[in-house]
Each structure stands twice: as structure tokens, then as C-alpha cells.
């Protein structure tokens, strides 16, 4: 699959997720000359060595989740795969998710990877939680450790 699948979805959305896309923006982006469709790969030469890409088909096919390397562990922008802190819990999904069972499997793989590398998630849809470290409890359930100093470091 290519990121082209997300671009095609944006240009010709399914009725179920049509409200997620603004048709006029697709034409403006394409006309800007800045659009670059990339293969589904872990690294993109355009972004450089400090960036890694994760891919998801659970919310919408071909969703891109960027990760940036930081000195104390990676930071991932999970978008609608994990839109906020409550969604870190594996079984929680949204009604808009196209493939909820696959989304749960994708979340589990991403969280396991980030937990093993001291990773963090940044939430652009959560009004109460900006970022947090992935943790696991004694039963193996994923959770989030939010630290106020992390948020302060991002804004400094």
C-alpha cells in the first residue's frame, strides 16, 4: 500500500468519512507543488534520519503517524489511531474508525514498540492531556504517565 491510498481516500472519500476531508484543501495542496506522495516505508529521505513513519489502516486506510527521535525517547503523533489519553487503553475505539479490530492490533504493536523504547505520544485531540509516556501495569495493560514537566519542555 502507498500513502497514495490516503490521498485517494481524501480526494474521493467514502460516505462514512466524507466529513473528515475538506475537498477544496486537496486541490490547493496539489496546486501548491508541495505535495509529495511516498511509499509506505519506515523512513523518508525528505524528512531525514531523525524521523520514522508508522502506518495505520484502522481509522482510515493509509493514515501516516510520524515519529521524531528525541534524546530521552521517541515522540509519536498518533492522530486518530489514539486521539487522546483514554484511547491508550486497547479496547477503546471510536465510532468513526473504519476497521476497529485492526486498529486495536495496530495500537498494540505501536504501544509495545514505544514502551520498549521509552516512547511518548502527543495528542492533538485531547484538551486535557498534551503528551505522556507509555507504561504498562502489572496485568500488562497499557496506560499513560503524564508529567507536567514534559508539557513545559515542549512549550519552552
Candidates 10, 28, 127, 118; CA nearest to 71 is 118
What are the C-alpha distances in Å from 59 to residues 30, 136, 151? 23, 24, 27
Domain contains 144: yes
Judge whether 77 lies within some domain.
yes
Number of domains comprising the chain: 1
Helix (H, G, I), strand (E, B) or coil at 125: coil
**Domain-embedded: residue 23:** no
For the residues 21-50, what does the mean pLDDT come to? 86
User: 147 versus 119: which is more confidently predicted?
Assistant: 119
Q: Which residues pair with 82 in a beta bridge?
A: none
CA dihedral 134, 78, 34, 31 (to 10 degrees): -170
Residue 2 belongs to a domain: no
CATH value at residue 93: 3.60.15.10
Query: For helices 23-32 and 4-11, what crossing angle results, to 10°?
Result: 130
Q: Is residue 16 part of a domain?
A: no
- pLDDT band (50, 70, 90) for residue 3: low
Q: What's the pLDDT score for residue 46?
A: 81
Q: Considering the domain boundaries, does residue 64 fall inside one?
A: yes
The C-alpha cell at 85 is 489519553
Asked whether residue 119 is assigned to any structural domain, the reply reads yes
Q: What is the pTM of this model?
A: 0.83
Q: pLDDT tens, 67-89?
A: 999 999 999 999 989 999 999 99
Report pLDDT digits (tens) over 37-49.
Answer: 887 777 888 888 9
Cell of 133: 509516556
Domain that holds residue 114: 41-155
Cβ atoms of 61 and 6 within 8 Å: the answer is yes
Q: Mean pLDDT, to the nearest integer, of 119-147?
A: 92
What is the distance in angstroms between the CA of the first residue and the CA of the last residue of the chain?
38
Exposed, middle or buried, 28 (CB in 10 Å: 0-12/13-18/19+)? exposed
Q: Residues with Cβ < 8 Å from 125, sequence gap 6 or more? A: 80, 83, 84
Overall average pLDDT of the 128-144 stretch: 95
Query: Is residue 30 in a domain?
Result: no
Amino acid at each position: 500500500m502507498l500513502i497514495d491510498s490516503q490521498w485517494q481516500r481524501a480526494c474521493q472519500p467514502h460516505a462514512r468519512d466524507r466529513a473528515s476531508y475538506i475537498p477544496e484543501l486537496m486541490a490547493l495542496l496539489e496546486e501548491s507543488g508541495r505535495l509529495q506522495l511516498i511509499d509506505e516505508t519506515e523512513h523518508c529521505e525528505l524528512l531525514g534520519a531523525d524521523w520514522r513513519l508508522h502506518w495505520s489502516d484502522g481509522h482510515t486506510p493509509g493514515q501516516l503517524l510520524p515519529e521524531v527521535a528525541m534524546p530521552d525517547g521517541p515522540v509519536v503523533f498518533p492522530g486518530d489511531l489514539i486521539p487522546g489519553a483514554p484511547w491508550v487503553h486497547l479496547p477503546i475505539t471510536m465510532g468513526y474508525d473504519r476497521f476497529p479490530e485492526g486498529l486495536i492490533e495496530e495500537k498494540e504493536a505501536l504501544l509495545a514498540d514505544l514502551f520498549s523504547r521509552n516512547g511518548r505520544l502527543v495528542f492533538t485531540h485531547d484538551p486535557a492531556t498534551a503528551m505522556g509516556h507509555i507504561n504498562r501495569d502489572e496485568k500488562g495493560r497499557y496506560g499513560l504517565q503524564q508529567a507536567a514537566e514534559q508539557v513545559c519542555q515542549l512549550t519552552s
